[in-house]
Amino acid sequence: MAEFTTGTLEEGGDALVVGVGSDRAWDEGAAWVVERLGGRLSGYFDAADFSGKPGQSIKVPGGNEVPYDLVVFVGFGDTPDDEAVRMAAGTAGLATSRSATVVTTLHTASADGAAAVAMGLLLGQYRFDAHRSKPKPSLTETVRLVGANEADMDAAGRAVVIADAVALVRDLVNTPAVDKSPETLAGVAMDIGEHTGVRVVVHDLEACREAGFGGLLGVNAGADAPARMVELWYEPEQADAFVAFVGKGIVFDSGGLSIKPAAGMETMKTDMSGAAAVFGAVQAIATLGLPVKVLGVAPLTENLTGGSATKPGDVLKIRNGKTIEVLNTDAEGRLVLADGLSLAVEYEPDLVIDIATLTGACVVALGEKIAGVLGTGDAPDRVADAAGVAGERIWVLPMPDDYRKLIESDVADMKNIGGRYGGTMTAALLLEEFVGDVPWAHIDIAGPARSGEVDGYIVKGATGFGVRTLVAIAESMTSS
Ligand code: BES
Ligand code: MN
Ligand code: ZN
């Protein structure tokens, strides 16, 4: 991972990244280059139709006039905010991944620009090369933020910690299901524990039985690999508050006996993105040393079709004693989350948040780039506010009381599917049965957990969505 430093434009380097507002409004670095490269630039800009709009970038050879081999101009539009700078830094990161020393003035464009550049650049350079015969890792060793002060460098350092966690989540989600059994992922949690001091408790299959995790075991019944329930505990000496995060950890979702069509399964290794986001958030919060007690819970299993698989019509008993009739084995996320939430609220946190690739309906409602959030009291608004600070896109959906009847069962306390419509809300209404009196929010990341395209700091495949919001929630609960 690249190091961030401060310095001057004149010191030089391999690549210089400068920002351009709409209609070629130069930032400090761009003005400095334009002054030195002068005439030839406008030709390049005209040929590439480059005006400084968000998403635009152009690479120019430095030549003899500036001490850089490569100059990258990136657009960030009118009045850039931190997110515009993060996106521009992501684009620039990709363009400079072969350069050892990258120098930039991009951070001068927005309020928290140094952190935004660190986050955007590192995430834009992310690649998942574990299964390529010719890996092409980023060669960037040093990123110099021109003129940055101590506060800027401190903010950048914190962003690096979070970017590191996002990269971990992307790696875990991109990993093929065959390489991430529940046992393997529990091992990842233990590794996190080892290098951060977080205490990790792993419930193996036998312990899951004893604990009465009937939802998790019901989903696990069709799989050979045994389930795990993982608890990560970050308990700082001084804590202003206590938050619990619960992440859906379906390492592969075939749908179970209510099997998915082939196309619907292609990306279902992504179905543990919630659990991965919880791992990443706990790692980042512990590394940052935030004064908030955090419990991370991850129910981990595959959803497969083995001879002992749960069948439509079966009834499962969840940890808190409530029963669920399984009418569709593909609505499995809520079953494992029911146990995870039941467990988390037993510890009486001030707030519990679950995060899950839960419903295709949420993608229909909000598209692929925006997560949904639902819950009780002001918890959803608090999550939405934290997401806004973090630069993740989340929208609050309602919890209509009268929709509760859509999940009434003829034989059990509830059934695991609602009607044809409003699937994100009926899923959330089921989850609400497992949170007791603890203020709760549920984040549905079925859309934004992965991306089909490169866009700024978002790369193809896993996005690591949710880590930044969860960390921001913990930050919002500190009294300082
Ligand atoms: N993991 C899926 C949801 C999903 C769908 C995530 C598409 C990402 C992209 C979840 O387990 C699921 O299968 N949900 C069903 C629920 C239905 C059977 C009530 C769905 O959304 O179709
Ligand atoms: Mn499913
Ligand atoms: Zn699923």
pLDDT in tens, 333-348: 999 999 999 999 999 9
Provide the pLDDT for residue 122: 98
pLDDT digits (tens, 9 = 90+) for 276-312: 999 999 999 999 999 999 999 999 999 999 999 999 9
How far is residue 206 CA from its own chain's centroid? 31
**Confidence at 33, pLDDT banded by 50, 70, 90:** very high
Average pLDDT score over residue span 200-212: 99
Average pLDDT score over residue span 159-187: 98
Q: Is the CB of 354 under 6 A from ligand 1?
A: no
Beta strands 351-356 and 440-444: pairing type?
parallel
Let me know: does 167 contact 125? Beta carbons within 8 Å. Answer: no
Q: pTM of whole model > 0.95?
A: yes
Q: Is the CB of 253 under 6 A from ligand 1?
A: yes
d(CA 403, CA 441): 18
Q: Which of 53, 260, 369, 393 is catalytic?
A: 260
Q: What residues sit around ligand 3, an ion, with C-beta below 5 angstroms?
A: 250, 253, 271, 333
Q: Given a cut of 80, is residue 320 above it in pLDDT?
A: yes
Provide the pLDDT for residue 278: 99
Instruction: Give 97 Cα–ligand 2 centroid separation in angstroms.
Output: 37
Lowest-confidence pick of 37-41, 49-53, 86-90, 387-391: 37-41
**Confidence at 161, pLDDT banded by 50, 70, 90:** very high
Annotated active-site residue 293? The verdict is: no
Residue 227 DSSP SS3: coil
Report the first-to-last Cα separation within the chain, whole angstroms.
30
Let me know: does 460 contact 427? Beta carbons within 8 Å. Answer: no
Instruction: Give 207 Cα–ligand 3 centroid separation in angstroms.
Output: 23
Q: Which ligand is nearest to the CA of 416?
A: 1
Provide the pLDDT for residue 290: 98
pLDDT digits (tens, 9 = 90+) for 70-88: 999 999 999 999 999 999 9
Q: Is the CB of 361 under 6 A from ligand 1?
A: yes
Residue 215 DSSP SS3: helix
Q: Domain ranges in the chain?
A: 3-164, 180-476
pLDDT digits (tens, 9 = 90+) for 433-465: 999 999 999 999 999 999 999 999 999 999 999
Q: What residues sit around ligand 2, an ion, with C-beta below 5 angstroms?
A: 253, 330, 332
Instruction: Give 184 Cα–ligand 1 centroid separation in angstroms.
Output: 24
**Confidence at 23, pLDDT banded by 50, 70, 90:** confident
Q: Is the CB of 302 under 6 A from ligand 1?
A: no
Mutate to test the pocket of ligand 1, among 330, 334, 431, 442 (most ligand atoms within 8 A of CB): 330
Average pLDDT score over residue span 403-409: 98
Tokens of 110: 């927005």
Question: 347 phi and psi, to 5 degrees?
Answer: -85, 5
Annotated active-site residue 36? The verdict is: no
Q: Which of 334, 415, 450, 468 is catalytic?
A: 334
Residue nearest to atom 13 of ligand 1 (CA): 330
Provide the pLDDT for residue 253: 99
Q: Report the number of secondary-structure helices (H) and strands (E) in the chain.
A: 15, 21
How far is residue 363 CA from its own chain's centroid? 16
CA distances from 321 to 80, 187, 230, 400, 434 (A): 51, 29, 20, 24, 10
DSSP type of residue 108: G
Residue with tokens 């997401």: 387
Instruction: Give 355 Cα–ligand 2 centroid separation in angstroms.
Output: 15
| Bridge partner residues of 316 (DSSP) | 324
Q: Given a cut of 90, is residue 40 above it in pLDDT?
A: no
Instruction: Give 48 Cα–ligand 2 centroid separation in angstroms.
Output: 45
**Confidence at 63, pLDDT banded by 50, 70, 90:** confident
**Confidence at 51, pLDDT banded by 50, 70, 90:** very high
Q: How many CB atoms lie within 10 A of CB 356?
A: 31
Residue 67 DSSP SS3: coil
User: What CATH number belongs to 180-476?
Assistant: 3.40.630.10
Region label for 214, one of left (φ > 0), alpha (ψ between -120 and 50) or beta (otherwise): alpha
Provide the pLDDT for residue 183: 98
Residue nearest to atom 8 of ligand 1 (CA): 446
Provide the pLDDT for residue 39: 78
Residue nearest to atom 22 of ligand 1 (CA): 360
Q: Given a cut of 90, is residue 94 above it in pLDDT?
A: yes
pLDDT digits (tens, 9 = 90+) for 327-336: 999 999 999 9
Q: Is the CB of 360 under 6 A from ligand 1?
A: yes
**Confidence at 1, pLDDT banded by 50, 70, 90:** confident
Provide the pLDDT for residue 477: 98
Q: What share of the chain is helix, strand, coil (3-state, %, to 5)?
A: 40, 20, 40
- State the chain's mean pLDDT as an integer: 97
Estimate the crossing angle of helix 150-174 against helix 273-288, to 10 degrees: 150
Judge: domain 3-164, CATH 3.40.640.10: no
Instruction: Give 398 Cα–ligand 2 centroid separation in angstroms.
Output: 22
- In ligand 1, which atom is closest to the CA atom of 328? 18
pLDDT digits (tens, 9 = 90+) for 238-259: 999 999 999 999 999 999 999 9
Q: Is the CB of 328 under 6 A from ligand 1?
A: yes
| Bridge partner residues of 231 (DSSP) | 201, 297
DSSP type of residue 148: -
- DSSP string computed for 228-264: EEEEEEE--SS-S-EEEEEE-EEEEE--TTSPPPHHH
